[in-house]
Chain A
Amino acid sequence: ETGVTQSPTHLIKTRGQQVTLRCSSQSGHNTVSWYQQALGQGPQFIFQYYREEENGRGNFPPRFSGLQFPNYSSELNVNALELDDSALYLCASSPGQGRNQPQHFGDGTRLSIL
């Protein structure tokens, strides 16, 4: 069984640029969530996708957007990058909407903004 995979593992960008992060969900999982984890903090929920539709969003501005594809893989896009966007971005997948199902996380993408 293949777990959650994220790419790239590390990324360096400058302020004002745009970035796309990618996530392949665990086999059989149709729900993908994205989290931002700043240094020394717990992860913060960005949004979730279920069957290619966004079905929940945290307190993040519209320049954070996403997609989910028919194979349930997902992208996180961030426009107009700011210094505070420097963080570890975690993707998590789970099977369906069963709320007692644990979310399974990837290794994350470390994004640094210069």
Chain B
Amino acid sequence: AQKITQTQPGMFVQEKEAVTLDCTYDTSDPSYGLFWYKQPSSGEMIFLIYQGSYDQQNATEGRYSLNFQKARKSANLVISASQLGDSAMYFCAMRDLNTGTASKLTFGTGTRLQVTL
């Protein structure tokens, strides 16, 4: 069974600073994908970034980068130059890439990020 652990219930960061949101995972699958989503108070889950287990380089998307350490089973999200609009819940999720049927996402419990002036 897959499991995602996010140990930071809440984080504060000053505007324009960088912040790291932690995510560790557990799986016996050799091939898997890791996703980060942002959920504003409106409820929509917004896709941010993807990392495949066999990708050689860490993923980057604009101000978002993923610090992927496979041996430690961690996939931390780094947000650079934080903006007030980054205030939201952030979820780490995993998907098994081998299963022949449903490609379900397993989510962590989330981290609430608050960006301050």
Contact = CB atoms under 8 A, between A and B. Distances in A.
Given A100-B50, A108-B44, A42 B108 contact: yes
* Interface size of B as a range: 20 to 34
A33 B104 CA distance: 8
B35 interface: yes
B102 A99 contact: no
B74 to A, nearest CB: 17
B76 interface: no
Contact of A99 (B45, B96, B109): B96
Interface residues of A, number: 30
B91 interface: yes
A107 B50 contact: no
Interface stretch (A14-22, A54-62, A63-71, A73-81): A54-62
B102 A105 contact: no
B35 A107 contact: no
Contacts of A108: 43-44
